[in-house]
Amino acid sequence: MTEHHSTHGPHPDRCARPDPIAELPGGSIVRHPVASDHPGLQVALGDWWGGLGGEAGALQRRLLVPRLFLQHFTGTSFLVERADRTLRAFLVGFLSQSEPGTAYIHFVGVHPEERRTGLGSALYGHFFAAARAAGRTHVRCITSPTNLNSVAYHTRMGFRMEPGDHTLDGLPVHRDYDGPGLDRVSFVREL
């Protein structure tokens, strides 16, 4: 019987948190997430949106960020936490496998107390840098046409709304984009 020795080291979730990518004012850090961050993200997805959509809305947000994002897209995802490891913001993104020039931001959240402090912009900046380093030329994302704060934020961040198949309250909307009744506004930003 031969003894097997792994050359890969311990599994990342059995180690301490990953090293910080950047330190922010106030002692917060930016780092890549790991799978063990999933429970904290699930709590944030339920709590940070001020009851938007009720329990059904919270469940929908939780289902949009399964653990697999924190296992397979960590190099292009980021979170911000305080020194006490309290989660303050996160961005889940990836590089498109089908469109070589595209990077995609899947989900972003900022704790209500941290909004308008620059945390969201810092996370987007880290994602844009990772996308550029990977040779990507543009970033895409979507939001609900009822999430006017998100529409305004992405417009301020330099994203442009792409034409849709319908207009709702002046917004170009893709009807049933994510399924029946799940309309979305689609954005793109050049890098």
Which domains are present in the chain? 17-136 (3.40.630.30), 142-191 (no CATH)
* pLDDT of 111: 96
Report residue 83's pLDDT band, with 50, 70 and 90 as the boundaries.
Answer: confident
* pLDDT of 50: 87
User: pLDDT of 15-28, one tens digit each?
Assistant: 456 778 888 877 89
Mean pLDDT of all residues belonging to the chain? 90
Residue whose token pair is 């001020």: 50
* pLDDT of 17: 63
- Asked if residues 129 and 176 have their Cβ atoms less than 8 Å apart, the reply is no
- 175 alpha carbon, distance to own chain's centre: 23
Give this prediction's pTM: 0.88
Position 119, amino acid: L
Interval 18-46 mean pLDDT? 90
* Residue 60 DSSP SS3: helix
* pLDDT of 16: 55
* pLDDT of 26: 78
The rounded percent of the chain whose pLDDT value lies above 70 is 91
User: pLDDT of 106-152, one tens digit each?
Assistant: 999 999 999 988 899 999 999 999 999 999 999 999 999 999 999 99
Going by C-alpha positions, the residue among 112, 126, 27 that lies closest to residue 75 is 126
The rounded percent of the chain whose pLDDT value lies above 90 is 77
8, two tokens: 């890969």
129, two tokens: 């840098």
Q: How far apart are CA 32 and CA 69, in angstroms?
A: 11
Is pLDDT larger for residue 54 or for residue 164?
A: 164
Query: What contacts 156, CB < 8 A, 6 or more positions away?
Result: none
* pLDDT of 51: 86
